Structure formats: structure tokens, C-alpha cells
Amino acid sequence: MKEKILLLAAATLGLAACRQSAPAEVVIEKPAVAVNDGRFTPEVMWSLGQIGEYALSPDGKQVAYGVKYISMEENKGNVELYVMPVEGGDATRLTTTAASEFSPVWLDANTLLFCRGNEIRSINVDSKKEQVVATNENGFEGFKVSPDGTSLVYISTIPVERPDHLNKLYAGLDKTTGRINEDLMYRHWDNWVDEIPHIYLVTLTNGKANMESAVDILGADQPYECPMRPWGGTEQYNYSPDGTKIVYTCRKKTGYDYAHSTNSDIYLYDIASGETKNLSEGIMGYDQNPVFNHDGTMVAWESMERDGYESDKLRLMVMDLASGTKVDLTEDFDYGVSGISWSADDKELVAVVMYRGTLELFAFNRESKTIRQLSQGMHDVNGFQMTGSQIVASQVSMQYPATLYAYNLSDDKAEGRKLTTVNDEVLGQVRMGKVEPYWIKTVDGKEMLTWLIYPYDYDSTKTYPALLFCEGGPQNIVSQFWSTRWNFEVMSGAGYFVIAPNRRGVPGFGMEWLEQISGDYGGLCMQDYMSATDYFANNFPQIDKERIGACGASFGGYSIYWLAGHNHDVKGYDEGRRFKAFLAHNGMFNFEQQYLETEEMWFDNWDLGGPYWDWNNPQIKKSYSNSPHLFVDKWNTPICVIHSEFDFRIVASEGMAAYNAAQMRHIPSRYLYFPDETHWVLKPQNSLLWHRNFIDWFDQWLKK
């Protein structure tokens, strides 16, 4: 159920857009926005440009990037490509089309490749002249070019074939919508598993790809994902510096085995011989995102130790290819890494680290094993690219969306140099709510970082309602993230304080803090929510303690259902209720049903301890006794339930059951259902309805 930041989901939509056949004629442009009262609303949020994929040029002097603008009328967005100098200056627009462009990749210092429709195209950044490089009827999900520019490896899909004994049942039934399955993992997150991604090698001659000679690197008869669904992209494979080998990520499992295991591996493919070697054999957790060093003698990747534990620490593993020796550069470092890049001299590796409430750049010295922090601030570095010592990063905070910043390998806890100004005009009209960090004592005497976001136009002589934000995941950090769904500044703009705790179970505060939540969903993590709420209710007179609500999605939605059953006889609050209104999005309501309805079985096996019918297991008794549906008799507070049909992680019946329970208890309640959304609400008009409903619901119970 672990949620990724919405940026990843948005990127997935961008990949899907590449495979649309006939784009609309409307070119969606940057809207004109006037914010008259300085209030940040959902409408203002959706008017902002969304910087997505970007690419640093081989000489480190230019960065190309995509910007998406949304049309509420059209209910969709459009991505155009821009390029700007890294040293600063004006951006140049490269494309103006009705079809979105994505996956920018530099061929050389003047030529950019990208995807549009079912084509890979090239554009001269000076003349803006375009040429078709490759066409694929099944589309592209991204690609990488070899170091010498003579080939590329692209992602496309192959169908999942029915076995013959089932295929014969469909004879003559070309209009049937029925699905017959005889194994697990027939659906994943938000899609039926009808096709799987593979990577293909194709040569480039005079700027053209010979698609007829494309080679399926895994083999057309191999029913395995490369890259891995649902999050994997081009970061999961790389060329060797001499272009003779490809290293890639794959979990060579299907069906029942896939649903129960996170054991993926790193494979080395020799282009000339076609031979494949498993580099990570014996490592039982996720191994992913391999990167060659500059002379091709070593490979680094992100590695988890334990099978079935999707939130295990991501170690920085380095392997010497000649000797086969593996070294963990994070052995004495209590935090995980993501996104790895080698320094020019191969002595250091740079990665993003979730660190004490923010996402920062760190450098790991391969020889001395020393670690240094390159970036620091009230921001999240969501990803970066590095050429030489030049680093370009995508950076966000609770107060601004994705913006490109420049760093240098020699930096020491720097805040970065801002490059893009896509949203400066609109954000300059907005008065954002102040964001402050607080370290709060928990019931067992530990310290917990909690963000407090102040309401728009805060006046210290007034009192305001407040919202407790319950994070999903469950092992997701509450960092300086920016989202078009859970946007704290939208809540601030609606006139609320927001209390956002990094409760037990989130990364960035050491492995002990991270792992405490597994098997203890109703324990200290819930106490942490209550501790944070009580701290601010009792120490901030500007927060009206009798007007506090709580909201959350996924594990956060479960948290709301659990809190709803434990919101009585609370000392110091009117009517013994700490919270006066709830909102739960796509949350787990009935653990026994959830265990049988979800698809990634490794998750529930790890976090709950296994199947509910194993009643001789004390862990099972403890875990399932915290299922929210067991406490409905204690519900006494208005609750809004939101759920979506294409959420295969936590299916829609969970939300419907929770809403029905509230109705049958005569609890004031509301049900918002989306028949065409997933674990997230991504379509623009659906999102706007989501936000309007969110504000209306809490205004009804906390402002009247």
C-alpha cells in the first residue's frame, strides 16, 4: 500500500499519454491567473505549471525540462519542452503541440531526443528543427541512448498471453468482457495485468532507429517485468560507458510468487553475446536502479536486505565486476538512499536521503567511507542529475511546486541556486501559510518532528480550527512535499492550522523509528497522533481545541477509521471527543477483508504478520484486533468517506463498508466515490471536486 509522492504518479500518466493515438487539437497554454485576495485555493493550485522530467546536457551547460499546464475545461493537461542555461538566464520553448512531449534525452550538446505519440523524435535546440528517430505501434514508455549515440534502449510492452486451455474458451467471443484467472497478481495497483514492460535494444544509423532489428533483451518468451511495475522507469537500466553491456533491474517472478516476494535482482547483459549474469544473487530484497562507474569496472545500486519487506533500508551497494566483491557504503548509516550518481573521479557517489524531515543530497566516499551532506533547507530534493561536478535537482517545499535548482559536488549543506521561474508570477500573488517544525515528546519520551502550517492571513489575536494530517504508506515520510491532492497550503488557504506529525513508522529518523509500526498499527503510531494533537491544542491558544478535525489517505485513511473508534472519553475535550470531524480517503476498514482483497501479499504478510486464519499466532491476534470495523460501536463523530473504483491496493468495498457503517449508526456522514480514479485522484475536474468537498465538509463541522 505504500504510496509514492504524487510526482511519480504524474510521471506514470505522462508515460501513458505517449501511447494515445490521436491527440486533441487544443494546445493547452499557460493560463492567466489573478489572485485577488492572496488566498491559495485549489483553483490557483491547478493553474500552476508542473515541471516534470528534465535532462542535463552532456557538457553540463544546459538543462531541458517539460512543463505541464492543465485545462479544467478539457479535463487534462499538456506538456511542452523548454531548455535553459544552467548558469541562469531565460528559458527557450522548444515545442508547441497538442500532444504531450516527455522523456527528454540529450544526444549531443545541440540535439535533444524525446517522445511524442508513438514516436521518438529529435530536435535541434537552436533551429528547433525536428526529425523522426523511431516509430513503434505499441508506443514507448521511455528510452536511453548509448554513450556513443549508436543505439538506444527503449521500454515497450508485450501482452500477457492466456494459456491454451483458457484461450479456447474465448473462441468466437470477441465482445466478451469476462476475465478468467488461475493465479495471483492478475491486477496491480490500478491496472489489470494484461501486458508487461520489456526493454529493447535498437541500433541508430544516421539518426534513425532500425526498429525491425530491435532485440528484446529479456526475450519475448520471458513473462517478467523490466522495469518493474508500478513505479519503474528508465532509472532501472543503464548502459556501460563503452556501450557493450546493459545492466538492468528485474524480478523474475509471476503470479503467486510475484505477489508474495520483493526479491528483484540486478542483471548484466552482454550485447555481443546475448549472455546475462545475475549480479545480486543471494540478496533477498529489492535490488534496483543500477549505475556503472565511469570506466565500467563497478556497478552501484539500491539494495534491500529482506524479502517481503518493501520499506527495508535502501542500502548503497557497490560491486567490483572483476572480483565480484560487494560493499555496502551505508552499513553504518541509519538512512536509506535513492537515485545514485558517480562523481567524475568515481571516488564519491551522490544520492538522495530522507533525513530528519526533508529529502537531501548526500555524498558517500567509496574509499574513506565518509559521508557528507551537500544540501540542507526547508525543501525536498526529489531527484537530480549530475555531469562532472554540476548537479541539477528537482526541488519542492510545502510552499512551492517542483522547481529546478543547481548544486555543486563541493557544496556543504547548501540551499541550492534556483534556476526555473515557471510559477513565480502566480506565487508572487499568494500569501502562503507559515511552516514551522516542532519536536514533540511522545508517550514513551522520544522526540517526534511535527510540522505546523499556519492559516492564511494568520492573526495571533484570533482562534482558528485545525486539521490533523495522518500520513499514508504507512512508511512514508512527512517531509517538505508538494502535492496536488494533500496540499497543506490549500488547507491553510481555507483557514485551517495543519498539524502534520512524523509518527512512528516513517523513514528519515532511523530504522528503529521506521520499523516500530510493523505489527503495531493500533499502538504507538496512534499515540503519536494523539500526542501531537494534544500538544498544539494545549499550547497554542490560537488553535480552537474544540474545532479540530483529522484527515488522511491509505494508511492515513485507516488511521481515521481507527481514531473514529477511539474518540470518546478523552479528558480535556468537550464531550470527551478530541476530534469533531473526520475525512478518510481510500483507507483500510476491515483487515480480514483487506487481506483477501489486496494484490501485493508481501505487504500484509509483513505488516500484519500473515493471514487472519492463523489464530495460533500471537502477532495475528494483535494485528487483526486493531481492525477499525471492530470499533464501529464507539463511533460518535461526523465522517466523510472517499474511495475510488480502480484502487486495487485497497478496494472500493472498504470505503463503502465504512460509510454504510456510519449510516447505520446514524452518524452524520458523506460518501464521495470516483468510478474512474485509482489510489489517487488525478483527473483535474475530479481533483477539484475532491478539494471542494474536503473544504466544504470540514467547514460544515468545524466553522459553524
Q: State which amino acid sits at residue 412.
A: D
Tell me how far apart the alpha carbons of residues 696 and 479 are, in angstroms, rounded to a whole number.
26
Which helix (H) or strand (E) covers residue 481, if one does?
A: none
Of residues 561, 626, 635, the one with CA closest to residue 591:
626
Tell me how far apart the alpha carbons of residues 361 and 338 are, in angstroms, rounded to a whole number.
10
Within 10 angstroms of residue 167's Cβ, the number of other Cβ atoms is: 11
Whether the CA torsion 420, 421, 426, 430 is positive or negative: it is positive
Q: Is 585 a catalytic residue?
A: no
**Cell numbers given for 239:** 548502459
Whether the CA torsion 63, 64, 65, 71 is positive or negative: it is positive
Q: Which of 47, 311, 518, 554 is catalytic?
A: 554
Q: Is 679 a catalytic residue?
A: yes
CA distances from 159 to 19, 156, 193, 223, 381 (A): 15, 10, 9, 9, 36
Q: Bin 334: left if φ > 0, else alpha if -120 < ψ < 50, else beta.
A: alpha
Residue in the structure block whose three cell numbers are 488557504: 493
**Cell numbers given for 278:** 545475475
Which helix (H) or strand (E) covers residue 489, if one does?
A: helix 488-493
**Cell numbers given for 87:** 548558469
Query: Are 239 and 582 a contacting pair, CB within 8 Å?
Result: no
**Cell numbers given for 344:** 567524475
Tell me how far apart the alpha carbons of residues 139 and 228 are, in angstroms, rounded to a whole number.
18
Q: What is the dihedral of CA 215, 216, 217, 222, to 10 degrees?
A: -150
Q: Is 183 a catalytic residue?
A: no
Which helix (H) or strand (E) covers residue 531, if one does?
A: helix 524-539
Q: Whats the size of the chain, residue-wise?
A: 704
Which helix (H) or strand (E) covers residue 332, if one does?
A: none
- First CA to last CA distance, the chain: 36
Of residues 109, 103, 197, 200, the one with CA closest to residue 151:
200
**Cell numbers given for 456:** 492564511
Tell me how far apart the alpha carbons of residues 426 and 76 are, in angstroms, rounded to a whole number.
20
Tell me how far apart the alpha carbons of residues 319 and 445 are, in angstroms, rounded to a whole number.
41
SS3 234: helix
Q: Where are the alpha helices (DSSP H) in 413-464?
A: 424-427
Query: Are 477 and 502 a contacting pair, CB within 8 Å?
Result: yes
Q: Which of 198, 379, 629, 679 is catalytic?
A: 679
Residue in the structure block whose three cell numbers are 493550485: 45
Within 10 angstroms of residue 653's Cβ, the number of other Cβ atoms is: 15
Q: Bin 370: left if φ > 0, else alpha if -120 < ψ < 50, else beta.
A: beta
Tell me how far apart the alpha carbons of residues 558 and 585 are, in angstroms, rounded to a whole number.
9
Q: Which of 647, 669, 687, 691 is catalytic?
A: 647
Within 10 angstroms of residue 446's Cβ, the number of other Cβ atoms is: 17
Tell me how far apart the alpha carbons of residues 384 and 237 are, in angstroms, rounded to a whole number.
16
Q: Which positions are annotated as active-site residues?
A: 554, 647, 679
